Every structure is written in C-alpha cells, then in structure tokens.
Chain A
Amino acid sequence: MDEGDWFPQGHDGGWYPEDADVGNIQEYYDGYEGEDYYMPEDAEWYPEDMDPYEMQQYMKEMYGEDYLEAADSGGGLSHMDLQELWSLCIIPTLQQGFTMICPLLLLCLTFRLLEGASAWTRHLMSTGLGLLALYLVFPDNWYFIVTFAITGHLLLHLMQGSRWRGVAASVMALIFLLTCELFIVEATEWHKIRGAQMILAMKIISLGFDLDSGVIQATPSVLEYSGYCCFLGTSAFGPWISYNDYLQVLKSRNLSLQWFVRGFKTTLQCLTCLTISTCLAYWVIRHDINKWVTAYRDALSFRFSHYFISYLSEMTCVASGVGVMEKGTTREGEGTDQEEDEEEEDVKWDLRVARPYYIELPRSLVEVVTNWNRPMHHWLKTYVFKTAKPLGAFPAIILTYAASSILHGLNFQLAAVLLSLGFYSYIEHVLRQRLADIFSACILAKRCKPDCGHRNQPNWAGCVRLQLRRDFWKQDWGSLISVEDAKTCVCVGLTNLCFCLLAMFHLAYLGVMFDSSSEVEEEGYTMSHTLQKWAQLDYASHWVAVGSFVFYKLI
C-alpha cells in the first residue's frame, strides 16, 4: 500500500477534483459548508474586531450553550495572579466606570455651580440637564420616561381638587408600567430603563398623595413639575426624593468643604464597590468549592453591584446639591444641627441610600430591608404602609411588598425574592419578639434603645472593657463586672450572632440567582432560572423559614 492510501495505485490522481475536470467541483463540494473546507489563508478573525456582545453571540453559535456553562463562572479568573487581575480586569472596569460617571458628575456640578437668579431658571436648568443626563445613560429609550412624566402631569392636572389623586396616580403608574412591559417595549430595552421608570413612578405617586394630604399646598406648575421629575441628580439612577426636598435644593447655598469631601468620598466608595462586584468577588472566591460558598459569592457580587449604583446615585444627588435638612427618624442617633441663620441653614450632606455595613453584617433581615434602599423604604413606609394600615398589620406588610414588586416590574425573580423577604422578615420579627418577651432580653429584630425596659440588657461597654484588659485572666472579675452581666453579654451576643448568620444565609440564598450567566441577565431573569437556582440549593432557606414559623407557633 502506498503510504496508507486507501485506494489502489494508479488512481490517486483522479479523486481530487481540482486535478480532474472542473465540472466535478460542485458535486464534490455539495454538502460542505464554508467552515469545513480547509483553506490555507483563512479569513482573519480577531476577537477584538467584534464588540463583546457580538463576540459572545458568536461564541454561543459556534460552540453552543456549553460555551457559557463550561467555563468558570466569573470569567476564568481562577488562574490569574494579582498583577494580571489588575491589568486585565480592574483597569478596564475602572476605565469604564469613569467613562460613565464623569459626564454625569460634570452635569451635576454645572447645575450646582450656576446659581441661577430666579426659581424658574433653575427649574428650567434642572429639566434640561436632567434630560441630557437621561439621554447619556439611556440613549435609545429615554423617551419612554419622558412620556411617563407627561402622562403623570396630565393626570394630576386633570384631577385638581380631588381627594383621590394618590390612588389615581398609583393606578395610572401601574397601568403604564404593565402596558409598556408587556406590549410595547422589547424585553432587553425595558430591563435597562426599569430602574428609572420605577423612580419616576414613585415621584408621581408621592406627589399625588402629598397633594391629597396637604403636605404640598399647590399643584406644581408645568415647569416645577418637569424640574422635579427630570431632576438631574435623580433621573437616571437617583434615589427618590420628595417634592419638598427638591424645592430645598433650589435655595442657593455656598460651596462648602464638607460638600466637596463628601462628594469625593462617595465617588471613591462607588468605584470600590464596582471593582469588588465585577472583579474581586470572583477572584477571592475562585473555585467552585461548595455550592453554598459559590452562592454567597454570587449574592455578594450582586449586593456590591447594588451598592455601586446606590453610591452613584448618592454622588449625583450630593453633587447637584441635595442635602438633608430635617431630622430624619430613620437615622438612629444622628442629630442634625439646624441652626437657622438669617439666610443659611446648616446642611448635613448626609443623604444615604444604602448602608453596606448593616447589610453585610446584619442584625436581622428587617435591618437589611431597611438599609437596602433607605429613600425607597421611607417612601414605602409613608405612602403605602400608612395608607394600607387600616386594613390590618399583616395585610399592610404584604401590600407593601406587593407594591414594591410591582414597581420593580413583572419580574418573577424579583417578586419571588421580595415576597420571600416579606415572609422571612415577618416571621423573624414575631419570633424574636416572642423570644424577647420570654427571656426579656435585647434580641429584637431592631436594635434596642437604651430605655427598652428589658431585664437582660447587656452592658456592652462593661463587657468590652473587660475584654480589652490584658491581664483579665488573672484579675478578679467580680470587681469589674458581675458574673450575671458577663453571662448576659455572652448569651445575648451569641443569640444575636446566630440570627446574624441566619440572615446572611438567607441573603446568600436569595441573591444566588443574580449571577452572570448573561444569557438571561439582560432580559431579566425568568421563572425557570429562578426555580432552578433555588432547586440546586434544595430550597433550604424556605424550609428554614417554615421551620422557624412552626417554632414560633409552638412557643
């Protein structure tokens, strides 16, 4: 045999079509696609010729869905050392972060620095710059937001003098959001602007209720209304602010160092959270050790992404001049000085949207929910909970969570998470209250105030002082702190720690599905994805919650 040729000698020339008649070529190549045919000069193909999105689509087509599943979740970070991580992940992330933040920041600073003469100038500028900011962030979809605002204004104007403006505004917002999501807008596009629509809906509904209850005296004119709705610091990502807060902004104030420092600090926090969410979380917890650790990592990345957006919104707000004037009930123990000069009021630049410390090391789920998005929490408490209170405590809570889910859009994932959170926090609240009553100890879901009246109130200062003494093993304890006090400290501390760990467990479970399988990430996560992720963890968290509810009923 001639070198392994399968055909007998004398025939090897004729089989290759180019060597034979040209007429055979078509027949020969029938059934072969272009990719199969070997060509010495292949078409040059470089990954950077394509946009990243295109390239992902290309990879999916070439290699099938396995491409996305087979690789490490988190982009193959496991083999990188610190330097590679820095240059391949962190630098591009920061670059992209800056590209996004800088224009917004400049616009906000422009607004702040141009102390316009009259109110209507500032309203006009607020509208104009706000629309520009919207356009920068959502270049394709900003007109939906504008349409929504106009519809809201028409409704409020038409219903002047009525008592039901709040409810009407809610219904209108609901219908608008649902119509857009279901019929008009494509899923991916809607998913992008969902956040901004939610904030606008909150603004309109709050206007309606405020007008009803008399907090705002007169219906805002077109200019004031548009200035409020498109307010620069809150249009794209911003936190909800009430109409009265907005009017405060328009009073011109001098630039202070405190303001500058705060803005700078917020920007740093913003970029740090972005880096942690995109790169560091996946690099620190690299391999898929254990499904719970992976779940914790995915949830962590999601939470830090939320903090990034929260700090970004804080930054735009502070840069545009939204400070906090009143003493807020949601801030524990932080008083605000309000010295009234003739012209100036002392402003504490302390608008906080999210407080990561209280969420990462949570005392309870109730605290998590409160600190997740403080303006929204305030909004829900004021406009939904108080309105629904006449129906009873439990229905009011459920209605609050339902309102929150609807505002977030028809998204099974978010609705499921929020509903689960609702039940968990209710169960935890009642369970801890019952336990606190039984043991008379400070293990409530909310932190105890000093005058809470529980017997077992740990003297934390004494306990800590005890520990800080280096020779405390030798010391006679009795002189420093009584044994009961020490026992109280330890018991209460342990109990709270247990609840803290339980809350972290629940958080990891609930956040697990917000992972980076970007096939569904851009369209909003579907029901099957959610249930699949939860099934992988055996619905553990739900069972635990059911168990604790049963336990509560038993005691």
Chain B
Amino acid sequence: MQGPWWVTILLPSLLLSAVVPADGLWWLINKPGGARGGSNAIRWSTGEARRYCGAVPWPVRRQKIMCEKFPRATTKVREGANLGIQECQHQFKHRLWNCSTADISVLQRLLSIRSRETAFLHAIVSAGVAYGVARACSTGELQECSCSKAKTKPPPGAESAGGEWEWGGCSHNIRFGDNLSKEFMDANEVAADDTGLMNLHNNEAGRKSIKANMKVTCKCHGVSGSCATMVCWESMPSFRQVGDIIMGKYHGATYVKINKKGSRLRPRNKRHKRPTAHDVVYLDDSPDYCEVDVAKGSYGTRGRKCNRTSAGVDGCQLLCCNRDFVSREETTEESCNCKFKWCCEVTCKKCKKKELVHYCK
C-alpha cells in the first residue's frame, strides 16, 4: 500500500455525513464510544477488542497487538489523528493546498512526494495522536494510563532552593500519549532510507512541540503571602496553539538530503541552520498546487472560494494563480435577530442573505 497506513485507516472517518458503513469499515461510524463492536465501557472484553482490532488492516503486527492490549486507547488514537487532520485543514484553509481529504488516493500520492506539506501532515497527525491520548488520560476517560501516587523523586538538592514538593497530579499522560503515538505512527517507518528518516524525524518534531509547551503552574500559600506551601499543576496547551507552532515550523522547514553513507539527513545548503530535533525537514520540492495533477497529489485551485478584497495568498489573484475568477450571487442562510429568552435560551431566526461569492476558474 502506498503512503502511510494511517491515511487509509483513519482519514475516512472524517466523512461524517451520509456514509453508510460497509463491512470492515468500522472506523466510519463516529458514535461516541467508537466502533461497531466497540462499546462505551471502560473495560472492553477480549472478544470486543479482538473484533475491533481485527477489522483494521494494520500493516505491522505489533500495532495489532497494541490495539488489542489498549483497545480504548486505540479509539483515542484514531480521534487524535482526526484532530490532527482537522487542525491541518484549519491552518491551510486559505492556502493553495488546503489539506483536503476528499479523495484518499490523491492524498496518498501527495504523501509519497516528500514535500513540506507531507512533513507538516506527519508532524500534525503525530502530535494529534499524542495530544488526544494524553488528554483522554487527563480527563480520566482512559484507564490504561492510570494516575499513580505522587512522585517520590527527592527535591532537586538543597542548593537549588527547590524545597519539598508533593505533586500529586497525574503525571503519566504525556508519556503514555507519546508512547502510543510512537507505536502507531513510527511503526511502519524504517530508518534505512531517506523517506523513513524524514518521517521519523517529523513525527518526533510533532510530538516534541507538545512536550515543549507543557506548562507547570505553581501557586504559593502561606501566612501573609509567604511561601510555606506550594500547589502545582500541569496543563497542556490547546491544540490550536500546537497547530500554530507546527505551522511555524512548516514555514521554517529545512531542505535536506541524505548523506553518502545513508545514515543521516543533512541540510542541502551548508549555510543553512542545521535542523534540531524540534524542526521539520523535507526532501523534495513541493509540486505546483495551482493545477490539478493527480499523480503529484495536487487538486489544483479550480473552484476554490477566494476573497476578492485580500492581497494575501487567499486573495483571488494569488489563489487562482492569475487565472480568472467567476462571481456568483448566492443566497446563504445565517442566524440573525438572536434574542435571549428568560430563561435561559437564545433563539435565533434564520435570514437568507444574498452575497457575491467568488470562485476560481
């Protein structure tokens, strides 16, 4: 199968509307609690787990074992991947390539070209998986990553004036999310060739962007504002923030190639900054997204909605790649005249509005 396995398995579940699940396509059902054969229970029986995991064509046997071991967590893995794709679509909403997942085969071909966009996709999906699992752990939906007692690590020495901490929070979430993300995302990549190296690197870059933005907040309590005791808790950034961070990395991605020995990736240009493990790398130039080119994974920009008044990349000039655009008058429905009723709902009327919408030719 071409492209990463998760494209075929996980992306179709985005098609929420009007999809009739056929046999074997359990992942298209998006009921809470997951899949046909799955349940909303905290603990799945072995039979349920086996049915759930058996229906997915895992490319690597290890993944299937992981799935059977942590079936509920695997549903979170799927949800996390969706989250990643949605964030990708949000970030690229106004750009030439808009991360559309309408046609899976086109996306697969896109992913076979090792461009910046591929790099971004790997990073964001990997981050999404880690985030989704960690979040589910924090809110208690997953039992596999149970919170253990406070860490018994001794305070960092007298000289650093850290003092004694009793941090009782659930500290294993990120680690579990990370591990699962590694298991599922990295399992199918081999570090033997440049594509494998690049994907592994980008996956890790995505995960690191979550870890690096964890925040631990502490508050002092004591008599008259002294610091007799401290209460600390950790928080994850919102996924939008993570998406913004990875988008920044996309903009600063490094163009690399593999070295002669075939062991490492190096920047092509000696003068460029060496990429760290937090940065995103890519091997090939991006194709031209202006025209349709299915073999290269580009949908083109025909029929995209553009913004006439903008001078940026979503403006009708750049988005349509200097082709013409057509303007149509369309009636759109929107909520208007919203009133607050006592108590306590807001009722809105629907207004039909005629506006001019521009589409690229």
Residues of A within 8 A of B (CB): 3-7, 13, 15-16, 18-19, 32, 35-40, 42, 45-48, 51-57, 71, 74-77, 79-80, 83-84, 87-89, 91-93, 95-97, 99-100, 137-140, 186, 188-189, 191-196, 198-199, 236-237, 274, 277-279, 301-302, 305-306, 308-309, 408, 413-414, 514, 516, 518, 521-522, 524-525
Known contacts A96-B231, A521-B227: does B164 contact A139 (CB below 8 Å)?
A: yes
Q: A319: shortest Cβ distance to chain B, in Å?
A: 18
How many inter-chain contacts with C-beta < 8 Å in the A-B complex? 227
In the docked arrangement, what's the CA distance between A415 and B168, Å? 35
Q: Judging by beta carbons under 8 Å apart, are A88 and B226 in contact?
A: no
Q: Judging by beta carbons under 8 Å apart, are B260 and A19 in contact?
A: yes
Closest 6 CB pairs of A and B: A195-B223, A75-B217, A95-B168, A48-B171, A92-B169, A79-B238
Q: Which of chain B's residues has its CB closest to A68's CB? A: B215
Q: B327: shortest Cβ distance to chain A, in Å?
A: 38
Q: B100: shortest Cβ distance to chain A, in Å?
A: 27
**Contact of A51 (CB < 8 Å), options: B153, B201, B226:** B153
In the docked arrangement, what's the CA distance between A39 and B279, Å? 12
A193: B residues at CB distance < 8 A? 226, 228
A-B contact pairs, 5 of them (CB 8 A): A19-B261, A52-B167, A55-B214, A278-B233, A414-B225
Q: Judging by beta carbons under 8 Å apart, are B270 and A53 in contact?
A: no
Q: B23: shortest Cβ distance to chain A, in Å?
A: 35
Q: Judging by beta carbons under 8 Å apart, are B275 and A74 in contact?
A: no
Q: Judging by beta carbons under 8 Å apart, are B169 and A95 in contact?
A: yes
Given contacts A38-B276, A88-B169, A92-B167, 5 further A-B contacts (CB under 8 A): A47-B216, A53-B155, A96-B231, A188-B163, A305-B219
- Interface set, chain B 197-246, CB cutoff 8 A to A: 197, 200-201, 204, 208, 211, 214-238, 240
Q: Mark B121-138, 1 if CB is under 8 A from A, else 0.
A: 000000000000001001
Q: Judging by beta carbons under 8 Å apart, are A54 and B162 in contact?
A: yes
Q: Which of chain A's residues has its CB closest to B169's CB? A: A92
Known contacts A53-B156, A53-B218, A309-B222: does B233 contact A89 (CB below 8 Å)?
A: yes
Q: A344: shortest Cβ distance to chain B, in Å?
A: 33
B208: A residues at CB distance < 8 A? 42
Q: A252: shortest Cβ distance to chain B, in Å?
A: 30
Known contacts A6-B268, A84-B139, A237-B223: does B174 contact A48 (CB below 8 Å)?
A: yes
Q: Which of chain B's residues has its CB closest to A372's CB? A: B224
A16: B residues at CB distance < 8 A? 259-260, 266
| B43 interface residue (CB < 8 Å to A) | no
Q: Judging by beta carbons under 8 Å apart, are A199 and B223 in contact?
A: yes
A91: B residues at CB distance < 8 A? 169
| B172 interface residue (CB < 8 Å to A) | yes
Q: Judging by beta carbons under 8 Å apart, are A46 and B274 in contact?
A: no
Q: Judging by beta carbons under 8 Å apart, are B150 and A99 in contact?
A: yes
A75: B residues at CB distance < 8 A? 215, 217, 233, 235
Residues of B within 8 A of A (CB): 135, 138-140, 150-151, 153, 155-156, 158, 160-172, 174-175, 178, 191, 197, 200-201, 204, 208, 211, 214-238, 240, 255, 257, 259-261, 263-266, 268-271, 274-277, 285
In the docked arrangement, what's the CA distance between A53 and B161, Å? 9
In the docked arrangement, what's the CA distance between A520 and B197, Å? 44
Known contacts A37-B274, A516-B217: does B165 contact A237 (CB below 8 Å)?
A: no
B200: A residues at CB distance < 8 A? 40
Q: Judging by beta carbons under 8 Å apart, are A277 and B221 in contact?
A: yes
B169: A residues at CB distance < 8 A? 88, 91-92, 95
Known contacts A4-B255, A137-B228, A521-B227: does B237 contact A18 (CB below 8 Å)?
A: no
**Contact of A56 (CB < 8 Å), options: B135, B218, B226:** B218
Q: Judging by beta carbons under 8 Å apart, are B238 and A518 in contact?
A: no
Q: Which of chain B's residues has its CB closest to A76's CB? A: B235
Known contacts A39-B277, A75-B233: does B163 contact A53 (CB below 8 Å)?
A: yes
Q: Judging by beta carbons under 8 Å apart, are B167 and A51 in contact?
A: yes
Q: Judging by beta carbons under 8 Å apart, are B224 and A408 in contact?
A: yes
Q: Judging by beta carbons under 8 Å apart, are B221 and A521 in contact?
A: no
A37: B residues at CB distance < 8 A? 274
B265: A residues at CB distance < 8 A? 38
**Contact of A514 (CB < 8 Å), options: B139, B162, B225:** B225
Q: Which of chain A's residues has its CB closest to B172's CB? A: A48
B227: A residues at CB distance < 8 A? 188, 191-192, 521-522
Q: Judging by beta carbons under 8 Å apart, are A47 and B174 in contact?
A: yes
In the docked arrangement, what's the CA distance between A87 and B236, Å? 12
B276: A residues at CB distance < 8 A? 35-36, 38
A309: B residues at CB distance < 8 A? 221-223, 228
**Contact of A192 (CB < 8 Å), options: B226, B240, B255:** B226
Q: Judging by beta carbons under 8 Å apart, are B271 and A6 in contact?
A: yes
**Contact of A305 (CB < 8 Å), options: B156, B163, B221, B257:** B221
Q: Judging by beta carbons under 8 Å apart, are B259 and A19 in contact?
A: yes
In the docked arrangement, what's the CA distance between A76 and B162, Å? 23
Q: Which of chain A's residues has its CB closest to B212's CB? A: A62
Q: Which of chain B's residues has its CB closest to A516's CB? A: B219
In the docked arrangement, what's the CA distance between A71 and B276, Å? 24
Q: Judging by beta carbons under 8 Å apart, are A96 and B171 in contact?
A: no
Q: Which of chain B's residues has its CB closest to A273's CB? A: B221
In the docked arrangement, what's the CA distance between A38 and B308, Å? 43
Q: Judging by beta carbons under 8 Å apart, are A51 and B259 in contact?
A: no
Q: Judging by beta carbons under 8 Å apart, are B229 and A137 in contact?
A: yes
In the docked arrangement, what's the CA distance between A254 and B221, Å? 34
**In this complex, which of A38, A518, A522 has the most chain B Cβ atoms within 10 angstroms of its Cβ?**
A38
Q: Which of chain B's residues has its CB closest to A417's CB? A: B225
Q: Judging by beta carbons under 8 Å apart, are B235 and A88 in contact?
A: yes
Known contacts A32-B274, A79-B238: does B168 contact A96 (CB below 8 Å)?
A: yes
In the docked arrangement, what's the CA distance between A177 and B146, Å? 47
Q: Judging by beta carbons under 8 Å apart, are B162 and A53 in contact?
A: yes
**Contact of B268 (CB < 8 Å), options: A3, A13, A195:** A3
Q: B329: shortest Cβ distance to chain A, in Å?
A: 38
Q: Judging by beta carbons under 8 Å apart, are A76 and B215 in contact?
A: yes
Q: Which of chain A's residues has its CB closest to B204's CB? A: A42
**Contact of B222 (CB < 8 Å), options: A32, A46, A48, A192:** A192
In the docked arrangement, what's the CA distance between A57 and B170, Å? 21
B218: A residues at CB distance < 8 A? 52-53, 56, 516, 518
Q: Which of chain A's residues has its CB closest to B166's CB? A: A99
Q: B44: shortest Cβ distance to chain A, in Å?
A: 22
Q: B292: shortest Cβ distance to chain A, in Å?
A: 25
Known contacts A18-B263, A53-B162, A84-B139: does B231 contact A97 (CB below 8 Å)?
A: yes
Q: Which of chain A's residues has its CB closest to B233's CB? A: A92
Q: Judging by beta carbons under 8 Å apart, are A194 and B231 in contact?
A: no
Q: B277: shortest Cβ distance to chain A, in Å?
A: 4
A42: B residues at CB distance < 8 A? 204, 208, 277
In the docked arrangement, what's the CA distance between A89 and B155, Å? 22
Q: A409: shortest Cβ distance to chain B, in Å?
A: 8
Q: A513: shortest Cβ distance to chain B, in Å?
A: 10
Q: Judging by beta carbons under 8 Å apart, are B234 and A47 in contact?
A: yes
Q: Which of chain B's residues has its CB closest to A275's CB? A: B231
